Amino acid sequence: MTTGNPESLSEVDQQRLLEWFDGSSRNLPWRANPTPYRVWISEVMLQQTTVAACIPYFEKWMEAFPTVESLALADMKRVLVAWQGLGYYRRARNLHKAAQIINTQGWPPSLEGWKAMPGIGNYTAGAIASIALKLPTPTVDGNIKRVYARLTADQSSFSQLDKRAWKWAAKNLVSSRAGDWNQALMELGATLCRPLAPKCEACPLKSCCLAHRLGIVEQVPEKPVRKRAVELHLAAIVYWRVHHEELEIGLIQAEQSNWWEGMTIFPTQQLDQSLDQTEKPNAIGRVTHTVTHHKITFAVCLEQVHGKMSGVNFVRASALSELPMPSAHQKIWKLASKKLLDL
């Protein structure tokens, strides 16, 4: 026996989901005190990061920058160091820009105000407006999109699905508890209505789920076509020297349009041929890293220099941990430092 209509959930189904959320939702640090600042930071971190991975970064961030003012006044280097390991560093730069705007103009009081902030899209704006500001605003992330697709057995293409999911979310919003409702749908998708091995028997909306009734839960929604990774072969040059009896390493700052804009990296050179560490002088090994549909293989090369180099900044090897360095280049340094210790 089914209850309700998946296209337009009944009050009974809505209440059932909210009761499930009230009793079963995960104890996440940003939920304990959902201020606009805490919700904003957590939502931006979660854009490309799992909840489990996000928690320690969120807690560390809140220790470093407990208020929007502390973030706005912080040096960009400190912000990037705090973000280090989360990837997609443009998010950190946008947080810093938005914090400076908020610190000057005040907190955005509306959905449209949040959409105008750097790095804030429809989903993040809707989440902040509903959870932190208690505004009757729908939102749709990947979890909600999947819940919608399964409830309605919507097998439309991925782009069409997005539009339909937003329309459905607006139609079924529980305005009196919009923040809890949006979180309940996200929580359902994250913990029960998972992409693989969904836990249908425990789902509070099982009775009105059309995909469950039709036995097509794992076929819905349609999987987007994965882009084939672009392979890049680069030489990473680790310039080193001994200065005043201390080991110093040559570094540069990543330029604009680079994945790691503004961060500290090793100089690199494009390699046209498939890597063979014997083909590059001074190569000591390889490091691989994947970023934004690109698989990068670095030939790590050591090169001793004396004196200064144009465009290269030498810093004490012992101070590298204090610099904002992306994980790919941390891997390079880990390999190079072992070799340097043997010299």
pLDDT the model gives residue 281: 60
In a domain, 78, yes or no: yes
If asked whether residues 71 and 156 sit together in one domain, one would say yes
Identify which has the larger pLDDT, 278 or 137: 137
161: tokens are: 């699905």
The verdict on residue 125 lying in a domain is yes
In this predicted structure, what is the pLDDT of residue 179?
Answer: 98
Do the Cβ atoms of 151 and 6 come closer than 8 Å?
A: yes
pLDDT of amino acid 67: 98
Q: Which of 171, 194, 219 is the last residue of a domain?
A: 219
CA distance readout (Å), 198 to 212, 228, 321: 10, 27, 41
Cα–Cα distance for residue pair 124/114, rounded to 1 Å: 8
Q: How far apart are CA 59 and CA 339, in angstroms?
A: 35
Total domains, the chain:
2
What DSSP character marks residue 253? E
- Is residue 3 a part of any domain in this protein? no
pLDDT higher than threshold 70 for residue 340:
yes
Residue 208: pLDDT above 50?
Answer: yes
214 and 274, same domain (yes or no):
no
Convert the pLDDT of each residue in 154-179 to its tens digit.
988 877 899 999 999 999 999 999 99
Which of 43, 59, 112, 231 does the annotation list as catalytic?
Answer: 43
**pLDDT at residue 247 greater than cutoff 80:** yes
Q: Is residue 279 annotated as part of the catalytic site, yes or no? A: no
Residue 70 has pLDDT above 70, yes or no: yes
Long-range contacts of 97-106 (CB under 8 A, 24+ apart): 99/68, 99/71, 99/72, 100/72, 102/68, 102/72, 103/68, 103/69, 103/72, 103/73, 104/72
User: Given pLDDT bands bounded at 50, 70 and 90, which one contains residue 99?
Assistant: very high
* Cα–Cα distance measured from residue 168 to residue 145, given in angstroms and rounded to the nearest whole number: 10
Q: Which of 112-126, 216-230, 293-307 has the highest mean pLDDT?
A: 112-126
- Regarding whether 210 and 157 lie in a shared domain, the answer is yes
- Do 33 and 173 belong to one domain? yes
211-237 mean pLDDT: 90
Range of the domain at 29: 11-219
Percent of the chain with pLDDT over 70: 95
Chosen domain end from 219, 246, 278: 219
Q: How confident is the model at residue 279 (pLDDT cuts 50, 70, 90)?
A: low
Residue 170 sits in the same domain as residue 52: yes
Q: For residue 239, what pLDDT is reported?
A: 96
pTM for the model stands at 0.84
Q: Given phi > 0 = left and psi -120 to 50 = alpha, else beta, which region is 270? A: beta
Q: Do 314 and 304 contact (CB within 8 A), yes or no?
A: no
Mean pLDDT of 13-32: 96
DSSP lists the bridge partners of residue 251 as 313
d(CA 343, CA 321): 21
Same-domain status, 181 and 311: no
Strands 230-243 and 294-304 turn out to be parallel
165 and 298, same domain (yes or no): no
Residues 197 and 249 in one domain: no
247 and 185 fall within a common domain: no
The CATH number that applies at residue 158 is: 1.10.340.30
- Judge whether 1 lies within some domain: no
Query: Do the domain assignments include residue 6?
Result: no
Q: Is residue 235 part of a domain?
A: yes
Higher pLDDT, 339 or 112: 112
Check residue 227 and give its pLDDT. Answer: 78
249-270: average pLDDT? 89
CB 281 within 8 A of CB 301: yes
Q: Which pLDDT tens digit goes with each residue over 123-135?
A: 999 999 999 999 9
- Confidence at 291, pLDDT banded by 50, 70, 90: confident
In terms of domains, do 150 and 128 share one?
yes
Per-residue model confidence (pLDDT) at position 2: 43
Amino acid at 247: L
Could you tell me if 139 and 86 lie in one domain?
Answer: yes
- 115: in domain: yes
* 262 found inside a domain: yes
Q: Name 3's bridge partners.
A: none
Structural domain ending residue among the three candidates 165, 189, 219: 219
Q: In CATH, what number is assigned to the domain containing residue 335?
A: 3.90.79.10
DSSP state of 317: G
- pLDDT for 108: 97
Do 150 and 278 lie in a common domain? no
